[in-house]
Amino acid sequence: MRKEKKSRESHVKSLRLLQLEKAIQSIPYPGVERLVKELEVSRRTVLRDIDELKLYYNAPIEYDRLHKGYYYTDETFFVKNVLVSEGELVAMAGILPLLERYDNTPLKDTISKVYNTISQMLPNQVQVQSSLLNDVQFIADPLPNIEPEVFKKLFEAIKTHKSISFGYRNLSSTEHIPHSDIDPYKIYCQKGDWYVIAYSHSHEKFNTYNLSRMKNIVFLKEFTPDQDYDRKVHIDPNFGIWNNDAPMQKIELLFDKSINTYVLERTWHKNQECHQNEDGSVYLSFESNQIQETLYWVLHFADSVQILNPPELKKLYKEKLKKMMKRI
């Protein structure tokens, strides 16, 4: 109890010192009586706090006899003690795992430099009101490796409208296959994976390429961007960024009641309809043109999901299960 009381008193005192500092900075030459009113404390407390600011924080506080009030001789001074609340600490700690999303890209170094710059701008002494950093651990997703040169050159090619050639290893390939005369338009990051959508002159359509499977990028001639890019590229960022000109289909799924909370507490798609039935099962529907990607996602739930529609997804699901059974 004594430790808790002492900690609480220290917290209140630190807050009061910050309020005192702010008052001296914002109010022209505040006198003791004005500070008593602002801080709602006694005259004795104000004078003691001023002495503490000067003694322990080297605050350049002086008293102006002409104006009968206090002021800072150095207007850039601030108290070198910052209180970080538990909520603020969570937010600060949350930045670090976000950086792990960029571990496989050169952006990691850039973002880290920005974060370190902001950190250096903070006061040297930070008083934390929680041990939360020791109580929380973030688990990062496994990320594919991307060659730094690939990332750098792709952004440059998009910015300067340069066609490129490169080596690409498909999902089932054993080696990189040469690709040439590709016009890169836009880079997408989905769940830690990085992709570029580019117009392939050999295929005469927009294709999606995974950055981790690319290498040996070479700049070619400059190209004129297609003004109808947005109309010609059909992706669904919620379930897949693979360009697909197939029509949107309504996906309808029924989840077992054993995982109803897990399904209900998440937003799976921006245009979803999701509700719990009387028997505890959960109905989920949304529209997407990414049938193949939806299939991979549905397989994640194993026997806890039933595909209601469309028939095409049902068929793919059955075929995939048959192939899986042959491997057992």
pLDDT band of 244, cuts 50, 70, 90: confident
| CATH of the domain spanning 249-326 | 3.30.70
Asked if the model's pLDDT at residue 1 lies above 70, the reply is: no
Please check whether the two domains, 2-79 and 148-232, share a CATH topology: no
Give me the phi and psi of 143, to 5 degrees please.
-120, 145
Asked if the model's pLDDT at residue 310 lies above 70, the reply is: yes
Asked if the model's pLDDT at residue 117 lies above 70, the reply is: no
Asked if the model's pLDDT at residue 208 lies above 60, the reply is: yes
**Structure tokens, 151:** 């990332």
Neighbouring CB atoms inside 10 A of 251's CB total 24
Higher pLDDT pick, 83 / 109? 109
- For the chain, percent helix, then strand, then coil, each to nearest 5? 40, 25, 35
Higher pLDDT pick, 101 / 321? 321
Number of helices followed by number of strands (H, E) in the chain: 11, 13
- CA 48 from chain centre, in angstroms, equals 45
Q: Is 244 left (phi over 0), alpha (psi -120 to 50) or beta?
A: beta
pLDDT band of 135, cuts 50, 70, 90: low
Average pLDDT over residues 209-226: 94
| CATH of the domain spanning 2-79 | 1.10.10.10
Task: Report the pLDDT value the prediction gives residue 170, as an integer from 0 to 100.
Answer: 87
Task: Report the pLDDT value the prediction gives residue 174, as an integer from 0 to 100.
Answer: 87
Q: Where are the domains of the chain?
A: 2-79, 83-135, 148-232, 249-326
Asked if the model's pLDDT at residue 103 lies above 70, the reply is: no
Task: Report the pLDDT value the prediction gives residue 2, as an integer from 0 to 100.
Answer: 60
Q: Are 143 and 104 in contact (CB under 8 A)?
A: yes
Q: Cα dist. 319→255, 289, 311 in Å?
A: 20, 19, 12
pLDDT band of 84, cuts 50, 70, 90: low
Question: Candidates 1.10.540, 2.30.30, 3.50.50, 1.10.1060; correct CATH number of 148-232?
Answer: 2.30.30
Asked if the model's pLDDT at residue 86 lies above 90, the reply is: no
Q: Cα dist. 272→267, 283, 286 in Å?
A: 8, 10, 4
Average pLDDT over residues 231-257: 87
Neighbouring CB atoms inside 10 A of 181's CB total 15
Task: Report the pLDDT value the prediction gives residue 9, as an integer from 0 to 100.
Answer: 64
Task: Report the pLDDT value the prediction gives residue 222, as an integer from 0 to 100.
Answer: 95
pLDDT tens for 73-83 read: 887 776 655 55
Average pLDDT over residues 22-45: 91
pLDDT tens for 277-303 read: 999 999 999 999 999 899 999 999 988
